[in-house]
C-alpha cells in the first residue's frame, strides 16, 4: 500500500507491506534512528513517537494507519540544538546505553507539555510504559525534574 506521511517535518511517500509496523517503517525503511525497536510488543516504550500529537508505541501501529498522519520523534525536539528535555537527560546522567532514551525523552516532553508541574505520581504514571535496563530510573526521574525546572 502507498502511504503518505510526514516524519519530523519531512514528507514521505512509501510503499509498505500492510503488516509492517510503523516502527519498522521509520527505523528500517526511512532511517529514522530516533526510533528504537526494542520488544515489538509495546512493552518497553523505546519506539514511542507522537502520531498526530498522541503518544503511541510505534511497534504496535500498522504503518498503513499512519497514512496522511504526522509523526514526530525525539529528533523533532532538537531544532539546531538539544531540547530542554534532551539536555536534562545528559546533565542528569540519565543516559547509559541510550537504547531506551528516545522513548523516555518523547514521553517526558509530552508529559511536561500537558502538565508543566506534574506530581511525583503523574511522572511515575507517565513513565510506566518505558523500560530501562541500565539506569535504575532515579536518574531518569531526576532528568524529568531538571527538565521541568528549566522549561520556560
CB 66 within 8 A of CB 1: no
Cell numbers found for residue 68: 496522511
Give 52-63 pLDDT, tens digit per residue: 999 999 999 999
pLDDT in tens, 79-116: 888 999 999 999 999 998 889 999 999 999 999 999 99
Helix, strand, or coil here: 131? Answer: coil
Distance CA 96, CA 99 (A): 8
Q: Which domain holds residue 23?
A: 2-76
105 with 129, same domain? yes
User: Is the model's pLDDT at 135 over the cut of 90?
Assistant: no
**For the chain, what is the mean pLDDT?**
95
- Per the CB < 8 A criterion, the answer to whether 90 and 109 are in contact is no
pTM: 0.94
Report the pLDDT value the prediction gives residue 115, as an integer from 0 to 100.
97
The answer to whether 71 touches 22, Cβ cutoff 8 Å, is yes
Nearest to 79 by CA among 9, 6, 3: 9
**83 and 105 assigned to the same domain:** yes
As a whole number of angstroms, the distance between CA 44 and CA 42 comes to 6
- Please check whether residues 71 and 110 belong to one and the same domain: no
- Nearest to 98, CA basis, from 90, 109, 110, 88: 90
Whether 93 and 119 share a structural domain: yes
- In CATH, what number is assigned to the domain containing residue 56? 3.10.20.30
Could you say which of 76, 94, 127 is where a domain stops?
76
Amino acid at each position: 500500500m502507498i502511504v503518505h506521511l510526514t516524519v519530523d517535518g519531512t514528507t514521505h511517500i512509501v510503499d509498505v507491506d500492510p503488516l509492517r509496523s510503523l516502527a519498522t517503517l521509520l527505523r528500517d525503511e526511512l532511517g529514522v534512528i530516533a526510533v528504537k525497536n526494542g520488544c515489538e510488543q509495546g512493552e518497553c516504550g523505546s519506539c514511542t513517537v507522537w502520531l498526530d500529537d498522541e503518544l503511541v508505541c510505534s511497534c504496535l501501529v500498522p504503518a498503513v494507519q499512519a497514512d496522511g498522519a504526522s509523526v514526530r520523534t525525539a529528533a523533532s525536539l532538537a531544532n539546531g540544538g538539544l531540547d530542554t528535555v534532551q539536555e536534562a537527560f545528559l546533565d542528569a546522567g540519565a543516559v547509559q546505553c541510550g537504547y531506551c532514551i528516545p522513548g523516555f525523552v518523547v514521553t517526558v516532553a509530552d508529559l511536561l507539555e500537558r502538565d508543566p508541574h506534574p506530581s511525583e505520581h503523574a511522572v511515575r504514571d507517565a513513565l510506566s510504559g518505558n523500560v530501562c535496563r541500565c539506569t535504575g530510573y532515579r536518574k531518569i526521574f531526576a532528568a524529568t525534574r531538571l527538565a521541568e525546572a528549566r522549561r520556560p
